Structure 1
Amino acid sequence: MVRNRAPGAALVPDPAPVPAVDILHGRPVPDPHRWLETADSPATLRWLDERRREYEREAATWPLRAPLADGIRSLVDTDLWSVPVHRAGTAFATVRPAGSEHPRLVALNGSAPPRTVYDPAAEDPTGRTTLDAWEPGPGGAMVAVQTSRGGVERGSLRVLSTTTGAPCGPEVPGVRYSHVAWAPHGAPAFFYVRRDGERGVRGVWLRRVGDGEERLVHACTAPGTVPGVRVLGERWLLVSEGHGTGHRTDLWIADLSGGGAAQPALRPVQVGVECETEARLGPDGLLYLRTTLDAPWRRICAVSPEEPGVEHWREVVPEESGATLDAFAVFPRTPLEDAPGADRHVPALFVSRTRLGISEASVHDARAGDLLYPVDLPGEGMVSTPEAAPDGSVYLAYADVATQQRVLCLPPDAPRPLQWPPGAADAPPSPSVERTVLWCRSEDGTRVPVTVFDAAVADAPPTPGPGPTILHAYGGFGRPRQFGFSATVLAWLLSGGRYAVAHVRGGGDAGRAWHLAGSGRAKPRAVEDLVAAADALVSARLCTRRQLCLSGGSAGGLLVLAAATARPDLCGAVIASAPLADMARFERMGLGRMWTREFGTAADPDDFAALMSYSPYHRALDGAVRPSGRRFPSVLLTGFHGDTRTDAAHPRKMCAALLEAAPDRGRPPVLLRYERDVGHGPRAVSRAVGLAADAHAFAAHRTGLSRR
């Protein structure tokens, strides 16, 4: 191969990739595949083309590839709504109609048909543009929309007229999932988050609609923090800084009632306290805070925004051991028929908790926290994004393993929610799925729960005994696993497979302490938990080693690769989607610099030792995956060229290291499915279906699943 050259120029061969070696804390750290960090070099492009050909040859042999794609496509072919946001009598929501590639933003007024406000497919028929975020203005006449193209999650912010769709001023480029908070008074303006490229300042800005004039109102001074902004009611500006996802939140508040949006006087609500807190404003004018302060399972406190400091917080809803308080909404409570004269301005709290992946919901009195009534949910599933409406209704999303997400409306003082919008088609009958919980003991003796799902197929009960099983784990950033709808999982279950989830430390399945016990220097505990979960499934005769496939994405991809390189005999196959892999250099790629609270930093010698103890890339390089006489699992890695979170260099380098380490060169056990024009976040439905079907067809082929 030669470089491109001008006519008559001498042939110049491509230089061979040069291995790198770093000296970190006195230890040599080889990095022979660093050249793959350069995504578009000729050498990388040739290497990727070889991986593409290998993948296509192998994928063509998977019998369930087409049936799984058909099954997943049929399961997602329904209208999918988001929870509505109400402004001045208009409800704004997104809907992805059956057969569509992307959701579009619509406005609903009474019984009139939904009116499209913005449709990314109409703007970009290629399907590469996604609607990442949106926020309607106070009167509903304008809406801020954020879009990106090619999966990079760094796009543009525009203000559009909700009646004509026309832009109301110049767009803001280079915005990434920014909160948008509309100023309640004066000329139209909004607060949002961005980084100033010239000065390198990341913070909250106030931007005037029309001419685009703006000014910085809050700058982040600490490195690696994520700012956020909200306007509560028509008076209070709330600014936040997240220090490491799921670790700590700093909060400030300012009174905007005097028209001081340009120079808000921010006062601390919570600064320098090691807890995570989210705030909402109640109809009584109090701040309600969901917090881990002195409550690892989270509780709700109330405080006056006039004196918002932690010392003034009053507990309203205490924590409940065993159930993480995930979300809440504050709404005005209407009078009960048997309680004439009740104060409708006294708020109530909608509270959602998760217990081992299953949501529970209830309504509480906001003064004393007393339980008013439990909410009758449709089944064992997941509640998300509760949103209070001005009339006292609460809207929420609900889904379970067998039921596609739908929006429900909980009327005032009613324990049973109704389907929304009223004319939406009823959900089709759900298949029968059985859920059980298996407990295992990790290496240090900690008991770790594993949830196992089986489905009845064609009215036949699940097949007893060992069978092809996918074991999924995430275990990062304090996120509890919630069992919502996944067409991929359901298609796998309906094909006769078994699906399990390991609630490993590092996630939020058992509160904040569970998160911290598997983060930073303790991250190896999460790997040990996953290994114990895999061993428990085999010991319980739910699967054999060859019938077991580990699966995880992003931080979960790191986890399954770390487990497989620690125990090459653990399972028959591994799916690692957009994983982290090179933990010596993760801070230099994607958003890694923002995650040092979660994983540690290679600059610290003790953190570095912990990182290297499980870094999958380095375990592959040092031969840890090739112990004599032990079988190594098949591996499918997925990488997305536009990935600005974990960076596709991770799966590229991991694939190269595993190909060198793999003993079976006759039938490549290591595959890389690599895509361009997509990233870590949302994508067109057809591309999501293709990815999911391929991953699970690989798992089926390697674990011996044949469709029932």
Structure 2
Amino acid sequence: MRLASLLLLPLLFAAPIAATPVTEDPTSPMPMPLTYPTTERGDVTETLFGEAIADPYRWLENDVRNDPKVAQWVAAQNRVTDAYLDTLPGRDVFKARLTALFDYERFGLPEAKGGRYFYAHNSGLQNQAVLYVRDTLAGEGRVLIDPNTWSKDGATALGESQPSEDGTKLLYTIQDGGSDWRTVKVLDVETGKPLEDELKWVKFSGFAWAKDGSGFFYSRFPEPAGGQEFQALNENQAVYFHRLGTPQSADVQYYATPETPKRGHSAGVTDDGRWLVIYTTEGTDNSNEVTLIDLEDADRTPRKLISGIDHEWSGVGNQGTTFYFLTNKDAPRSKIVTIDVAQANPVPRDLIAQDDAVLQGAGIVGGTIIASYLVDAKTEVRRHSLDGKPLGAVALPGIGTAAGFGGDQDDAETFFAFTSFATPTTIYRYDVKTDRATPWATPDVDFDPALYDVAQRFYESKDGTRVPMFVVKRKDVTGPAPTLLYAYGGFNISMLPAFSASRVAWMEQGGVLAVANIRGGGEYGKTWHDGGRLANKQNGFDDFIAAGEYLMAQGITGKDQLAIQGGSNGGLLVGAVVNQRPDLFAAALPAVGVMDMLRFDRFTAGRYWVDDYGYPSKEADFKVLRAYSPYHNIASGKVYPAILATTADTDDRVVPGHTFKYTAMLQASDIGDKPHLVRIETRAGHGSGKPTDKVIEETADLWAFAAKWTGLEVTAP
């Protein structure tokens, strides 16, 4: 079980049209400054560590669903933004092409239980993927759950799903309007009908069936106070067992830490059904404690196996009382150890030593340890016997990203997905015994990868650090050309090669895509992560600025041709570097960004992020945060690039107040006449579960805006 970040934003980005250019008359004068809505400026000022901090737009932190004044502000901002976007001639071209590019079959990884195969499928333009089941791998699939019938606007999504061990039941979650909250239900697989079971107040939870199918383990928070479900801090998460056919009020609590309410807990059951393994975290770091409960023990007494939230301990599997863990203790690029839990004081023993490559994850399938590594931000998959002996690498279809390889320890098969910037995601079946992969689902996309060039380059950052960056473009495009530069740079999350229909739409018009693997991510392990967080956060900003300078120095892009984009922590990145180097960029697209670094920890999941950002309440951390907080460092008197910020009203991960306040400050500042706008989606959240039609609409707006301000000539068929 690899612990997941609570700030990850899915990539929602995405290419050959020819014919008539749709551009504005180059002799036209610069547009007149936009008339922005009037935003009330409050007088809130707080003295923090001897400094008076003005927060004039604090009232915009209020929940848009419950505060009519904020709702009016949102409506007024959207009217101005929509009116401006309506003037962009490339918008309709992008929308039409994106619609065509998205119209292809997409499959999720199959999960095999009880001889059945469960998988997600989108026929192309469906707003939400549909869950199917097959009785044999080659058989016909039948629909189990079609979330497209759940709401008229397509914004109610199927979240997680997990079949029982015998494949007769399926637990699934409902995500409404992009919120992180989940409603949990159970389906009878044979009849396709839901049972009466329903669970509430579930968020950031793992799910684990009891092997006898009697019920499942999950994690939940206490019910928030009325009206606070999208704002209140998430604390006091606990692990429960739900027995099928009983109300949630009867669920048995298995593990909680009320004395430390900030700790979160997620549970899994070992393949042999004996052990409940509980992973306890406090933030977003890959650091956790491990607690075991022997389910064969009538007392179910928790036993602390790993104490202290200091290192990562991610379960790989077990053979009886021998547990296999991936850990970064004494191994910043991670290794695999064994622990014999039959011992009174078990000691971890090295099994697979740290490598020059970064160990990303591992599992036991078919009696073999299958481990995924990163080598310069590209995937390698290696096999080992249970005693640690190398068995060779899994042959992948090319250079790119492979993900999957899940399953039970005695499964003879597993599945993985492979993708790269020019390779649409393909699902493969992998036979563990023969070490052979065969395609299971191959997409048919209106896209010719032979027309594109994918290169990995390395450049020097401000302090001399060597940073990798992928550069993708049509082979016939010569520089300098309009370029979209993307990065994330946080929470140990790696930016890996992946196909995106959205990005293809940008590239086929002649735009260049650059993805920089800046510090703060996990591309080179713990050292790379540590090098771009807390007091080192500026290193990531410097890496991103250096990427832009490199693209210009190499003639890939030119002055007034560089647009930058990032989401969530990447939205923070974009906001910070625009403040620091507004002269370098022609356009900026910060999405769902963390923009107020002095108050981020006061809302929903924000408290988890102190692992990467630090504590605003601690003076040393405050000084670092104050120095780069996007909201607090907008520099009047400088000419800023064109900015189109995006957020959504139901984002309860990074609450939209961050972007609201940032936008208000931009519009009130003397930073030039280019547009500084916000696009606020309704019934959408941080990214997951967003309907296909909303993705297409939003991306068309973003690309048209970036094209306008980088000089990309958009051509219509």
TM score, norm. by length of structure 2: 0.87
1:674 is aligned with what amino acid? I
Residue 440 of structure 1 deviates from its aligned partner by 2.9
Mapped to 1, the partners of 2:500 and 2:142 lie a distance apart of: 29
Mapped to 2, the partners of 1:558 and 1:264 lie a distance apart of: 44
For residues 643-675 of structure 1, give each alpha carbon's deviation from its aligned partner in whole angstroms, at most 9, with x where no partner exists.
00001111111111111124334xx52011111
- Contact 2:201 2:222 (8 Å CA) reproduced: no
Cα distance change of structure 1 residues 33 and 530 upon mapping to structure 2, 3 Å threshold: same
- Give the counterpart of 1:303 among 319, 324, 339: 339
Cα distance change of structure 1 residues 391 and 359 upon mapping to structure 2, 3 Å threshold: same
Matches within 5 A, 1:452-491: 452-456=471-475, 461=476, 463-491=477-505
Q: Describe the SS at the equivalent of 1:596.
A: helix
For residues 363-419 of structure 1, give each alpha carbon's deviation from its aligned partner in whole angstroms, at most 9, with x where no partner exists.
22231331x232221222211122135442121111111222222111123444111
1:483 is aligned with what amino acid? P
For residues 223-248 of structure 1, give each alpha carbon's deviation from its aligned partner in whole angstroms, at most 9, with x where no partner exists.
43331110111211110012321341
Residue 451 of structure 1 deviates from its aligned partner by 2.1
Matches within 5 A, 1:216-231: 216-220=253-257, 221-231=259-269
Residue 445 of structure 1 deviates from its aligned partner by 2.9
Counterpart for residue 326 of structure 2:
290
- Contact 2:590 2:645 (8 Å CA) reproduced: yes
- Contact 1:268 1:308 (8 Å CA) reproduced: no
Matches within 5 A, 1:343-358: 347-358=367-378
Cα distance change of structure 1 residues 376 and 662 upon mapping to structure 2, 3 Å threshold: farther
Asked if 1:431 corresponds to 2:454, the answer is no
Residue 444 of structure 1 deviates from its aligned partner by 2.8
Cα distance change of structure 1 residues 319 and 67 upon mapping to structure 2, 3 Å threshold: farther
- Contact 2:283 2:607 (8 Å CA) reproduced: no
- Give the counterpart of 2:506 among 489, 492, 498: 492
- Give the counterpart of 1:180 among 195, 207, 225: 207
Q: Describe the SS at the equivalent of 1:170.
A: strand
- Give the counterpart of 1:327 among 361, 380, 383: 361
1:27 is aligned with what amino acid? E
- Give the counterpart of 2:349 among 295, 308, 314: 314
2:449 is aligned with what amino acid? P
- Give the counterpart of 2:659 among 635, 651, 666: 651
- Contact 2:42 2:56 (8 Å CA) reproduced: yes
For residues 517-541 of structure 1, give each alpha carbon's deviation from its aligned partner in whole angstroms, at most 9, with x where no partner exists.
2112221221122112211211222
Mapped to 2, the partners of 1:542 and 1:406 lie a distance apart of: 30
Mapped to 2, the partners of 1:102 and 1:306 lie a distance apart of: 46
Moved more, 118-127 or 528-537: 118-127
Mapped to 2, the partners of 1:219 and 1:278 lie a distance apart of: 20
Mapped to 2, the partners of 1:477 and 1:507 lie a distance apart of: 6
For residues 285-311 of structure 1, give each alpha carbon's deviation from its aligned partner in whole angstroms, at most 9, with x where no partner exists.
6422222122211222233343496x6
Moved more, 197-206 or 70-79: 197-206
Q: Describe the SS at the equivalent of 2:195.
A: coil
- Give the counterpart of 1:546 among 549, 557, 560: 560
Cα distance change of structure 1 residues 201 and 46 upon mapping to structure 2, 3 Å threshold: closer
Mapped to 1, the partners of 2:343 and 2:544 lie a distance apart of: 45
Counterpart for residue 87 of structure 1:
113
Cα distance change of structure 1 residues 428 and 307 upon mapping to structure 2, 3 Å threshold: farther
Percent of matched pairs sharing the same residue: 28
Counterpart for residue 25 of structure 2:
none
Counterpart for residue 504 of structure 1:
518
Matches within 5 A, 1:557-572: 557-572=571-586
- Contact 1:451 1:502 (8 Å CA) reproduced: yes
- Give the counterpart of 2:394 among 362, 367, 375: 375
- Contact 2:215 2:243 (8 Å CA) reproduced: yes
Moved more, 598-607 or 323-332: 323-332
- Contact 2:241 2:253 (8 Å CA) reproduced: yes
- Contact 1:700 1:706 (8 Å CA) reproduced: yes
1:325 is aligned with what amino acid? L
Mapped to 2, the partners of 1:614 and 1:477 lie a distance apart of: 17
Residue 596 of structure 1 deviates from its aligned partner by 1.1
Counterpart for residue 686 of structure 1:
693
Asked if 1:145 corresponds to 2:185, the answer is no
Counterpart for residue 228 of structure 2:
none
- Contact 2:105 2:444 (8 Å CA) reproduced: no
Mapped to 2, the partners of 1:317 and 1:171 lie a distance apart of: 43
Moved more, 406-415 or 530-539: 406-415
Cα distance change of structure 1 residues 566 and 447 upon mapping to structure 2, 3 Å threshold: same
- Contact 2:596 2:630 (8 Å CA) reproduced: yes
Q: Describe the SS at the equivalent of 1:612.
A: helix
- Contact 2:236 2:264 (8 Å CA) reproduced: no
Counterpart for residue 426 of structure 2:
406
Moved more, 463-472 or 426-435: 426-435
Q: Describe the SS at the equivalent of 1:592.
A: helix
- Contact 1:581 1:615 (8 Å CA) reproduced: yes
Mapped to 2, the partners of 1:452 and 1:482 lie a distance apart of: 12
Asked if 1:449 corresponds to 2:460, the answer is no
Residue 473 of structure 1 deviates from its aligned partner by 0.9
- Give the counterpart of 1:365 among 382, 385, 390: 385
RMSD: 2.3
Asked if 1:124 corresponds to 2:135, the answer is no
Residue 608 of structure 1 deviates from its aligned partner by 0.4
- Contact 1:183 1:189 (8 Å CA) reproduced: yes
- Contact 1:282 1:331 (8 Å CA) reproduced: no
- Contact 1:404 1:427 (8 Å CA) reproduced: yes
- Contact 1:619 1:625 (8 Å CA) reproduced: no
- Give the counterpart of 1:59 among 63, 67, 85: 85
Counterpart for residue 10 of structure 1:
none
Counterpart for residue 4 of structure 1:
none
Counterpart for residue 336 of structure 1:
none
Asked if 1:78 corresponds to 2:78, the answer is no
Asked if 1:205 corresponds to 2:240, the answer is yes
- Contact 2:215 2:241 (8 Å CA) reproduced: yes
Cα distance change of structure 1 residues 540 and 675 upon mapping to structure 2, 3 Å threshold: same
Residue 632 of structure 1 deviates from its aligned partner by 1.5
Mapped to 2, the partners of 1:307 and 1:705 lie a distance apart of: 66
- Contact 2:281 2:309 (8 Å CA) reproduced: no
Moved more, 482-491 or 191-200: 191-200
Q: Describe the SS at the equivalent of 2:167.
A: coil
Mapped to 2, the partners of 1:354 and 1:693 lie a distance apart of: 33
2:199 is aligned with what amino acid? V
Cα distance change of structure 1 residues 426 and 449 upon mapping to structure 2, 3 Å threshold: closer
- Contact 2:101 2:445 (8 Å CA) reproduced: no
Counterpart for residue 135 of structure 1:
162
- Contact 1:632 1:662 (8 Å CA) reproduced: no
Residue 687 of structure 1 deviates from its aligned partner by 0.8
Cα distance change of structure 1 residues 364 and 283 upon mapping to structure 2, 3 Å threshold: same
1:118 is aligned with what amino acid? I
- Unaligned runs of 5+ residues in structure 2 are 1-37, 226-234
Asked if 1:167 corresponds to 2:203, the answer is no
Residue 15 of structure 1 deviates from its aligned partner by 12
For residues 293-335 of structure 1, give each alpha carbon's deviation from its aligned partner in whole angstroms, at most 9, with x where no partner exists.
22211222233343496x63232322222x3222223122xxx
1:78 is aligned with what amino acid? Y
Counterpart for residue 229 of structure 2:
none
- Contact 1:253 1:305 (8 Å CA) reproduced: no
Residue 196 of structure 1 deviates from its aligned partner by 2.3
For residues 118-142 of structure 1, give each alpha carbon's deviation from its aligned partner in whole angstroms, at most 9, with x where no partner exists.
2211233431211111111122111
Residue 598 of structure 1 deviates from its aligned partner by 1.3
Cα distance change of structure 1 residues 396 and 306 upon mapping to structure 2, 3 Å threshold: farther
- Contact 1:275 1:293 (8 Å CA) reproduced: yes
- Contact 1:505 1:518 (8 Å CA) reproduced: yes
Mapped to 2, the partners of 1:64 and 1:355 lie a distance apart of: 38
TM score, norm. by length of structure 1: 0.89
- Give the counterpart of 1:672 among 648, 672, 678: 678
Cα distance change of structure 1 residues 168 and 673 upon mapping to structure 2, 3 Å threshold: same
Residue 641 of structure 1 deviates from its aligned partner by 0.2
- Contact 1:382 1:400 (8 Å CA) reproduced: yes
- Give the counterpart of 1:534 among 520, 540, 548: 548
Counterpart for residue 342 of structure 1:
none
1:328 is aligned with what amino acid? A
1:468 is aligned with what amino acid? P
